[in-house]
Structure 1
C-alpha cells in the first residue's frame, strides 16, 4: 500500500505541475497579446505614410531613335499637328514615341512585304516602292531636315522658330530637299505626315494618343466592348473612350 500511495502522490504532483505551469504559460501568452494590443492602441506616434511614386509610362521610352532624332521628330510632328484651342498637339500626344515604336518593329523593317526588285521610278498613281526599309528612310529624312536647318539657320531643327520650321517642311513636301538617291523629300514628308496622324489617333497602347486626348477631341469612343445599349437611340451619345489596355486590365 505504501508503494501505491507513493505512486499516486507522484501522479498528482505531475498533474498539478502541468496544470499550473500550463496556466502560467497560457497566461503569459494572453497577457503578451493584450499588452501588445494595448501598447499599439496607446501609441500616438503613427508611422509616416509611404511615399507614392508617380506612375511611370513605359510607352515614353525610345526603342529606335536617339535623343536628337526624337527631338527632330517631335518638333516636325508638332508643326504638322499643332496644339490649338481645340486640344493638344503631336508633342503632348506622344506622337514621336508612336513613330519610334513603329520604326523599331515590323512596319519599320517592311516585314512581310514584297521586297524584290526592280526598284525603278514609279508612276504618281502607284506610290513609292523603294529598296530602302522605312526605318532607314526615316533616319535619312531626319538627317536631311537637320542638315537643311544647319545650312540655312546654323541651328538644329528643334531650335528653330515655328515659321522657320514650316519653311523647311514646305520645301520637303514640295520635293525641293533630296533625302537620298531614290528617295525624295516628298516621299519622306508623306511618310512623316501619315505616321503623325496615326500617332495622334491610335490606341494608346501603341505609344501615341496619350491619355486618349486625341479621341476625346473627336468624341471618339475608342475600343468599347459593346454598343447594344445605345445602338437604337436616335441622339448622339458621348461616351468615355476606352483603350485596349482597359480591357486587358480586367
Structure 2
C-alpha cells in the first residue's frame, strides 16, 4: 500500500479532515445526534490558518485552570490534536479558541471521566474496554508525543507540521498504534467525540466559548420559548442563550 493510500482516511483531500467527524453518533449539548452531526460541522471549509512551519497557529489560553491534565506537554498534545480535528478557518474559530481542550479536561476530571456510573466489573469479553475514559485519554495523548518523537527526531506532537500531525492521527484512527488494554482507534474515536462536544455543547459544560460554535451555525441554544416568532414570515436570527444564561432571569 502506498503512503498516500495509508493517509486516505484523513489526507486524501483537504476536505477530508471533516470526513472523519461526519456521520458519527455523538452527544452534543445534551442532544443525541446521529448522522446529523455531518450537517452540523461539514459546512466549514478546509482553509485552516497556518503558522510558518505549517502547523496551526491557534494558541491555548493557559490562564484557565486545568483539573485533570497535570503535565503541560500532555495538555499541549491534546490541544494540538483537537485543532487538527476541528481547525480554525475564515468561517470561525477552531477547537482551541472554542475551549474544547478545557472542556475535555473538565469532563475527564468529573465522575463521567472515571466511568463512575458504569458497570465496571469483569469478566470483559473481546472488544470490551477495561479502562475508563480518563485512563484512555491520558494514555492516548502521551502516546501522541511518544509516536511523534520516535518518528520525527524527538519533536513533540504540538511542534509537528499539520501534515505530520494528520499522519499520526490517521495511524491512531486505523488502530495501528500499540496501546495498553485499548485499541488506538478507540482512543481516536473518544478524542473526536469529545472535541466536537467541546465545540458545540452548551457553554455550561466548559466548551463552546462565548457560544461561538452556536453562532457559526446560527443555532439559538436553550431558548425558553419561540412563541414570539411564530407569526414572523421571514427568518429570524436569534441570539443564542446557554443553560447557564437562564440563571440571570
Fold shared per TM-score above 0.5: yes
Structure with the higher fraction of residues in helix conformation: 1
Question: What is the rounded CA distance, in whole Å, between the counterparts of 1:103 and 1:232 in structure 2?
Answer: 44
Which residue of structure 2 lines up, in the alignment, with residue 215 of structure 1?
Answer: 214
Deviation at 1:59, TM superposition (A): 9.6
Which residue of structure 1 lines up, in the alignment, with residue 179 of structure 2?
Answer: 179
State the secondary structure of the residue aligned to 1:74: helix
Contact kept? 1:221, 1:242, Cα under 8 Å: yes
State the secondary structure of the residue aligned to 2:229: coil
RMSD of equivalent CA atoms: 1.8
State the secondary structure of the residue aligned to 1:77: helix
* Residue deviations 1:72-114 (CA, integer Å, cap 9, x gap): 1110000000011211100110100000000000110101111
Corresponding residue to 1:120 among 125, 130, 153: 125
* Residue deviations 1:173-210 (CA, integer Å, cap 9, x gap): 01111221x31110000000000000000111211111
Deviation at 1:131, TM superposition (A): 1.4
Question: What is the rounded CA distance, in whole Å, between the counterparts of 2:194 and 2:142 in structure 1?
Answer: 18
Question: What is the rounded CA distance, in whole Å, between the counterparts of 2:192 and 2:218 in structure 1?
Answer: 22
Which residue of structure 2 lines up, in the alignment, with residue 155 of structure 1?
Answer: 155
Q: TM-score, normalised by structure 1?
A: 0.71
Question: What is the rounded CA distance, in whole Å, between the counterparts of 2:129 and 2:227 in structure 1?
Answer: 45
Task: Give the unaligned 5+ runs of structure 2.
Answer: 1-60
Contact kept? 1:60, 1:207, Cα under 8 Å: no
- 1:101-140 alignment, distance < 5 Å: 101-122=106-127, 129-140=128-139
Contact kept? 1:60, 1:94, Cα under 8 Å: no
Corresponding residue to 2:68 among 35, 39, 64: 64
Superposed structure 1 runs of 4+ greater than 2 Å apart: 57-60, 231-236
State the secondary structure of the residue aligned to 1:189: helix
Contact kept? 1:59, 1:207, Cα under 8 Å: no
Task: Give the unaligned 5+ runs of structure 1.
Answer: 1-56, 123-128
Q: 1:248 to 1:80 in 2, by over 3 A?
A: same
Which residue of structure 2 lines up, in the alignment, with residue 249 of structure 1?
Answer: 248
Q: 1:152 to 1:164 in 2, by over 3 A?
A: same
Which residue of structure 2 lines up, in the alignment, with residue 98 of structure 1?
Answer: 103
Question: What is the rounded CA distance, in whole Å, between the counterparts of 1:227 and 1:98 in structure 2?
Answer: 29
Question: What is the rounded CA distance, in whole Å, between the counterparts of 2:166 and 2:120 in structure 1?
Answer: 34
Work out which of the two has the higher radius of gyration on C-alpha atoms and give 1 or 2: 1
Question: What is the rounded CA distance, in whole Å, between the counterparts of 1:134 and 1:234 in structure 2?
Answer: 47
Is 2:191 the partner of 1:192?
yes
Contact kept? 1:59, 1:97, Cα under 8 Å: no
Contact kept? 1:59, 1:206, Cα under 8 Å: no
Which residue of structure 1 lines up, in the alignment, with residue 90 of structure 2?
Answer: 85
Deviation at 1:247, TM superposition (A): 1.3
State the secondary structure of the residue aligned to 1:146: helix
Deviation at 1:236, TM superposition (A): 2.6
Question: What is the rounded CA distance, in whole Å, between the counterparts of 1:192 and 1:152 in structure 2?
Answer: 22
Q: TM-score, normalised by structure 2?
A: 0.71
Which residue of structure 2 lines up, in the alignment, with residue 29 of structure 1?
Answer: none
